[in-house]
Amino acid sequence: MPPPIELRDAVPEDLDDICSLIRALAQYERMLDEVVLVPEVLAGHLFGPSPSAHVTMAEDHGEVAGFALWFPTFSTFLGRPGIWLEDLFVRPEHRSRGIGLALIQSLRARTDGRVEWNVLDWNQPSIDFYESLGARPLPGWITYRLTPPGSSGR
């Protein structure tokens, strides 16, 4: 019998599951119309010779339950690398089993620098979860974004 919760680095064979999780996250965030990724292009960015991002897969009794998509950052003030958590998602049927916590802890273990992310202001369940871990919003900071031509800017 597989272990109850297992985390592992994604491999190219996980691409379909990663795309499915991204779509499920986008649906949860009411942004499904924003998903325009091309799986083959995403694969190159995740598994090519110079990956732009990494994925940690979470399995619950052998079933893909969630993921964290992240990439390295660097803090000039700390003088050390950190991690930007781009997306964390656990399928609803696998929530409240410690998977989100395990994913965050796995990122924390990868760096002695900062682990940072954004959360939508209406997503109170996630805000409550992150604050239960001791994370806090950064007062005085506003997120800016430059988008590619033709993008909606969301």
User: Is residue 130 among the annotated active site residues?
Assistant: yes
Q: Which of 125, 122, 121, 120 lies closest to 90, judged by CA? A: 125
Q: Which of 67, 89, 129, 130 is catalytic?
A: 130
The residue behind tokens 């990868």 is 110
What letters, b where the CB count within 10 A reaches 16 and e where it falls short, cover 5-32? bebeebeeebbebbbebbebbbeebeee
Q: CA–CA separation, 63 vs 77, rounded Å?
A: 41
CA distances from 146 to 13, 60, 74, 105, 153 (A): 32, 37, 20, 30, 8
For residue 1, the one-letter residue type is: M
Residues labelled catalytic? 130
